[in-house]
Amino acid sequence: MSGLLCLCRQGFEPELAAELSERAAYANVAGYARTQRNDGYVVFVTEEGAALSKALSWRSLIFARQKLQVLAELPQLDAADRITPIIAALQGQQRFGDMWVEHPDSDEGKPLAGLARAFGNALRPALRKAGLLTDKPNTGLPRLHIVFVDGRHAFVCVADTRDSAPWPLGIPRLKLLPDAPSRSALKLDEALLTLMTPEERELLVKPGMRAADLGAAPGGWTWVLTRQHVKVISVDNGPLREHVLETGLVEHLRADGFHWQPETPLDWMVCDMVEQPRRVAERMATWFREGWCKHAIFNLKLPMKKRWDETRLCLELFQEQAGKPLHLRAKQLYHDREEITVLASPLR
Ligand SMILES: C[S@@+](CC[C@H](N)C(=O)[O-])C[C@H]1O[C@@H](n2cnc3c(N)ncnc32)[C@H](O)[C@@H]1O
């Protein structure tokens, strides 16, 4: 079996399957998505797994937390010896620079965490003995992933370290600091980490920059920006937490985020207003068309049924109305629930 295995938020398999199918067709790769509701993963079966993986970069996939290329599917492993068939499936492969044993982040997958840990400890020395794994992690070599979907059924996969999530299960482990005004702060933290490369982050988010935060209360996103020493105009009729205002970097405006506009152009605009996604996409486009900001990070809430269709429609609407070529990256982050987070920037 060859193809891609992508991990996603439980319940969002239809969106990921639609995304993979549409993008594979666009890349002229024949195949089909194999998926089951609430599995927390989708397999895209194709004989051109390597080509498809190249065509669909991890950062460009919206509903995939992780993207892996499948080397083998082992659906009937014997609990007495799972190692031998895995080593056999890897015959002829080059040495891997690391190995992770994982499982989907789903109701059925989560109980496999203990097995994954114990099995990883047993498999590692066997791989080294077979010349398939380096002694120390080496990010210059491909990473081996063993993904258990139940105790007897595993996928043997490979990931390019430059084109995959650098976190097991595709989940960055972020800690909510005690003075974070809201859990939403983690969303912007994760967006900065996931939607930009470290080089882009350094280039695009600098001390002294000016930003607007639309729908800012109680101040989580504003607080994340102030921690980067960015000055923020926080727009919301609701109150901001006192310690956010005390940073001296924040101006709180009680105004409507759909009507307020800055007096002079800003470096950044971020927006977490809970509203119809099309309305948000249109307002975000206005900001770029009018030159009110250079870069933006915004959330599109997707409480409706046809979430893939709505996602595509909103992103197309935004691009059409922004009136200039922009680089767009969108992801359903781990800390996003029924929503996606979008980065728009002129940077390519
Ligand atoms: C999800 S909360 C934002 C949380 C915030 N990002 C944080 O990290 O603490 C959504 C906010 O959007 C605000 N909001 C909704 N519609 C708005 C509008 N038209 N203008 C300004 N704020 C609005 C609400 O008052 C609410 O505080």
pLDDT in tens, 196-229: 999 999 999 999 999 999 999 999 999 999 999 9
The verdict on residue 178 lying in a domain is no
**161 within 8 A of 178, measured Cβ to Cβ:** no
Same domain (yes/no): 224, 141: no
Given the CA of residue 182, which atom of ligand 1 is nearest to it? 9
What CA–CA distance (Å, rounded) separates 1 from 63?
Answer: 23
The verdict on residue 264 lying in a domain is yes
Same domain (yes/no): 159, 16: yes
pTM of the model: 0.95
The verdict on residue 175 lying in a domain is no
pLDDT classification of 347: cutoffs 50, 70, 90? low
What CA–CA distance (Å, rounded) separates 293 from 288?
Answer: 6
Task: Check 67, 187, 294, 301 and give the catalytic one.
Answer: 301
pLDDT tops 80 at residue 348: no
Mean model confidence pLDDT for the chain: 97
**Ligand 1 center–CA 301 separation, angstroms:** 12
Same domain (yes/no): 201, 231: yes
pLDDT tops 80 at residue 31: yes
Q: Which whole number is the average pLDDT over 73-80?
A: 97
Same domain (yes/no): 191, 53: no
Q: Which of 273, 297, 339 to mutate to test the pocket of ligand 1 (most atoms within 8 A of CB)?
A: 273
Percentage of the chain with pLDDT > 90?
98
> What SS3 state is found at 186?
helix
The verdict on residue 77 lying in a domain is yes
**Residue 262 assigned as binding residue:** no
* 279, two tokens: 């309305």
Given the CA of residue 185, which atom of ligand 1 is nearest to it? 8
Same domain (yes/no): 86, 164: yes
| CATH code, 158 | 3.30.2130.30
pLDDT digits (tens, 9 = 90+) for 117-145: 999 999 999 999 999 999 999 999 999 99
Residue 133, domain extent:
3-170
Question: Do you find a cis peptide bond into 218, omega within 30 degrees of 0?
Answer: yes
14 lines ligand 1 (CB under 6 A): no
Same domain (yes/no): 142, 206: no
**Ligand 1 center–CA 236 separation, angstroms:** 6
CB neighbourhood size of 111 (10 A): 12
What CA–CA distance (Å, rounded) separates 198 from 52?
Answer: 25
The verdict on residue 179 lying in a domain is no
What is the C-alpha radius of gyration for the chain, rounded to an integer number of angstroms? Answer: 22
pLDDT tops 70 at residue 64: yes
Residue nearest to atom 24 of ligand 1 (CA): 215
235 lines ligand 1 (CB under 6 A): yes
221 lines ligand 1 (CB under 6 A): yes
- Residue 185: what residue type? A
Same domain (yes/no): 143, 202: no
Sheet holding 41-45, edge to edge: 32-35, 41-45, 3-7, 66-74, 153-159, 143-150, 98-102
pLDDT digits (tens, 9 = 90+) for 174-189: 999 999 999 999 999 9
What CA–CA distance (Å, rounded) separates 301 from 18?
Answer: 18
142 lines ligand 1 (CB under 6 A): no
What CA–CA distance (Å, rounded) separates 193 from 188?
Answer: 9
Same domain (yes/no): 35, 77: yes
Same domain (yes/no): 94, 206: no
Q: What angle do CA 328, 334, 337 make, to 5 degrees?
A: 90
Spell 49-88 as b/e; 16+ CB within 10 A means b. Answer: beebbeebebbbbbbbbbbbbbbebbeebeeeebeebbee
Residue nearest to atom 22 of ligand 1 (CA): 215
Last residue in a domain, options 144, 170, 196:
170
Same domain (yes/no): 300, 270: yes
Same domain (yes/no): 153, 198: no
Same domain (yes/no): 245, 314: yes
Closest C-alpha to 148, from 182, 115, 192, 188: 115
DSSP-assigned states of every residue in 36-80: -TTSSEEEEE-TTHHHHHHHS-GGG-SS-SEEEEEEEEE-S-BTT
The verdict on residue 156 lying in a domain is yes
pLDDT digits (tens, 9 = 90+) for 295-332: 999 999 998 889 999 999 999 999 999 999 999 999 99
Q: How many structural domains is the chain composed of?
A: 2
220 lines ligand 1 (CB under 6 A): yes
**Ligand 1 center–CA 176 separation, angstroms:** 20
* 343, two tokens: 């980065």
Is 206 considered catalytic here?
no
> What integer pLDDT is reported at residue 305 of this predicted model?
86
What CA–CA distance (Å, rounded) separates 223 from 234?
Answer: 10
**Ligand 1 center–CA 11 separation, angstroms:** 26
| CATH code, 341 | 3.40.50.150
Element (H, E) at 285: helix 277-289
pLDDT classification of 1: cutoffs 50, 70, 90? confident
236 lines ligand 1 (CB under 6 A): yes
pLDDT tops 80 at residue 42: yes
